[in-house]
Amino acid sequence: MVTFCTSGLMYNEKSLVRYFIIFLFQIFGASFVFSQELPEEIKHQLNINGEVQVAVPIEDVINFPEILSFASPAKTNADLVTLFVTESGYRQLVAFSNPVYIAPNITFNSQAASNSGWSQYPPYDEYIQILNDFEASFPDICRKISIGTSVQGREIVVLKLSENVNENHQEPEILYTATMHGNETAGYNLMLRLIDYLLSHYKNDSLVTRLLGNTEIYINPVSNPDGLFYLNNAVTPYSKRFNANNIDLNRNFPDPELSAPPNGQPLQPENIAMIDFLLSRNFVLAANFHSGVELVNYPWDTWERRHPDNNWYIHVSHSYADTVIKNSNNGYFQSPLFPDGVVNGYDWYRIAGSRQDYMNYFIHAREVTIELHESFITPEYQLDSLWQYNKQSMLEYMQHVYYGFQGTVTDAFSGHPLQARIDLLKHDADNSHIYSDRESGDFYRLAAPGRYDLHFSKEGYFPKTIKNKDLLPSETVSLEIDLTPVNLHEYQNYFLHDSIQLYPVPASDIIQILIPSDLNIEQISIYSIAGLPVNVSNSSLLTFNVDISNLVPGIYIALIRTNNGLVRRKFIKTDK
Q: How far apart are CA 61 and CA 93, in angstroms?
A: 10
Strands (DSSP E) contained in 215-254 are 216-220
Cβ(327)–Cβ(389) under 8 Å?
yes
**Which residues, in sequence order, are CB contacts of 87 under 8 Å at separation 6+?**
38, 46, 50
Q: How far apart are CA 252 and CA 267, in angstroms?
A: 6
Cβ(111)–Cβ(119) under 8 Å?
no
Segment (H or E) for 379: none
| Annotated catalytic residue, options 171, 184, 371, 380 | 371
**Which residues, in sequence order, are CB contacts of 365 under 8 Å at separation 6+?**
175, 283, 284, 285, 286, 359
Nearest CA to 282 out of 172, 406, 131, 180 is that of 172
For residue 210, the tally of other CB atoms under 10 A from its CB is: 13
Segment (H or E) for 147: strand 142-149
Q: Where does residue 188 rank: exposed (0-12), middle (13-18), buried (19+ CB within 10 A)?
A: buried
Map residue 228 onto helix, strand or coil.
helix
The full DSSP string for 287-309 is EEEE-SEEEEEES-SS-SSPPTT
Q: How far apart are CA 22 and CA 112, in angstroms?
A: 51
Q: Is 371 a catalytic residue?
A: yes
Residues in the chain, total: 576
Catalytic positions, written as ranges = 371
